[in-house]
Amino acid sequence: MDPKNAYPEAPLDGGEQNPPGSTDAMPDRPDHGEESYRGSGRLSGRKAVITGGDSGIGRAVAIAYAREGADVLISYLPEEQEDAADTAQLIEKAGQKAVLAPGDIRDEAQCKAIVDRAVHELGGLDILVNNAAYQMSQPGGITEISTEQFDRVMKTNLYAMFWLCRAAVPHMSQGSVIINTASIQAYQSSAHLLDYATTKGGIVAFTKALAEDLAEQGIRVNAVAPGPIWTPLIPTTMTPEKVKSFGSDTPLGRPGQPAELAGAYVYFASAESSYTTGEVLGVTGGKPVS
């Protein structure tokens, strides 16, 4: 199969939506691996937390983890309940336990509550996927980024990751893993996503430092850096012009689909990557992450 033709090229229709957006409202719905992902028991018995697990990359990871044998708690905003319920059904259809944890991770107490619920309702915590993120394109650059927006991006993308990791580590044992979602924006930063790109660069640095910190405890920390991936985040946070050309500037000539990310998160969560920590794996359609 030619990877250039594996999925549709731009333009894709995401519908007219406001943040955080809905999968069902997208005329061109993303592929999360609902029909394609086949598990092989690589995460049997594991307990996972996935932030932003209701849709997009988070849903694809939740489906893959469940089909690999893991129980999954998904964190999401309350207004994303419908998408979250759909993801929970897919987890349960795979024969695994699904726990729904609505709430805003900009609240430190909510981050601690997510970890506490995983420990009590799943019976432990082996895998933490810090995937939730917020962005809002500002074509005018720095002068259009309000303090309110900057604060929201920082709290969602960086503070929450720190709070979740700090709460999770005491409950983790040897063999546990933390996987953070970085971005091509950490390496090829766009002016219209200045604040978002700043946080993604921070996630790369955080991942490498935390990997060194936790290596002695036998806890691995890695990151996945997606390129342009078709999720509800895109039509709800970018201008129509950006959406129209989304992904067309990659060497493969198209946007990626969430299903194309799932394998990377499974790899980092499984024993197959036992000698890998502090690394960033780019899934970018050919854009370099270096």
Catalytic center residues: 196
Closest by CA to 98, choosing from 74, 78, 75, 80, is: 74
Instruction: Give dist(CA 55, CA 231) in Å, integer.
Output: 7
**Do residues 157 and 203 touch, judged by C-beta distance below 8 A?**
yes
Give the helix/strand (H/E) hosting 37.
Answer: none
Instruction: Give dist(CA 141, CA 136) in Å, integer.
Output: 11
**Do residues 56 and 84 touch, judged by C-beta distance below 8 A?**
no
Closest by CA to 33, choosing from 257, 284, 283, is: 257
Instruction: Give dist(CA 31, CA 260) in Å, integer.
Output: 9
Quote the distance between the C-alpha of residue 137 and its chain's center: 19
Radius of gyration of the chain (CA): 17
| Helix/strand/coil for 224 | strand
Token output for 83: 């998408």
Which amino acid is it at 233? L
